[in-house]
Amino acid sequence: CCIRCGKVQDVDCAVGSAPCLTPSDFHGMAIISADVLYRGVCADCQTEAEAELAKSQVQAAASVQH
């Protein structure tokens, strides 16, 4: 899920080394499933952030020139 806007995108499968899905202590539970949640910044928010950064850089450059 996106940490900026909350957008959720399903991921079909994880690749590479597996995350820890087996608990070190079951606490007496019969585990029937495990979930993996990826957090990050979605493409839309990345584009927004890049635009904001570019705008602030232009403003900073303009203030130095004056």
Q: Which tokens belong to 47?
A: 């584009």
3-state secondary structure of 27: coil
Q: How does residue 2 score in pLDDT terms, banded at 50, 70 and 90? A: very high
Give dist(CA 41, CA 13) in Å, integer: 19
Query: If you compute the radius of gyration of the chain from its CA atoms, what whole number of angstroms results?
Result: 21
Residue-wise pLDDT for 41-55, tens only, equals: 999 999 988 888 888
pTM attached to this predicted model: 0.55
Q: State residue 31's pLDDT score.
A: 87
State mean pLDDT over 54-66: 80
| Residue 48 backbone class (left: φ over 0; alpha: ψ -120 to 50; beta: rest) | alpha
